[in-house]
Amino acid sequence: MNANQRLHHRVRAKFTKLLREAGRDAAIEAGVPALTRAHIYGYLHPSDRRRRDPGNLYPSFKAVIDGFVDAGVLPDDDDKHLVGPDMRLSDVVKGGQLRLLVIELDPLEAVAHG
């Protein structure tokens, strides 16, 4: 999903649910521990070399991160608990792929800057 797509709300909800469930399942399968605060980088490995605007990928990354919250990786995806997602384009992969890099942050740093 990207921000430029004009999908019917039911179709969009179906895609969002699938991505959210995939994020939850991937976090559980990978054994990602519960974190208080994190910085998440999102990498899109497109299926072809067409030009893309990484910012338009936000709806897909948001859904996957919501799945991380569902899995208990983060208490919430608000600014107190999450920096990002910082979205990037990466190498072409057959079929395409979303990949997240989760970096644990010091929870006290949020208090010092907030």
pLDDT of residue 112: 54
User: What residue type is 11 in one-letter code?
Assistant: V
Cα–Cα dist 46/72, whole Å: 28
* 82 contacts 40 by C-beta, under 8 angstroms: yes
pTM of the model: 0.82
- Phi/psi region, residue 83 (left: phi>0; alpha: psi -120 to 50; beta: rest), is beta
* 43 contacts 102 by C-beta, under 8 angstroms: no
Residues of the chain with pLDDT under 50: none
pLDDT of residue 69: 97
Q: Which tens digits make up the pLDDT trace of 47-72?
A: 999 988 888 888 889 999 999 999 99
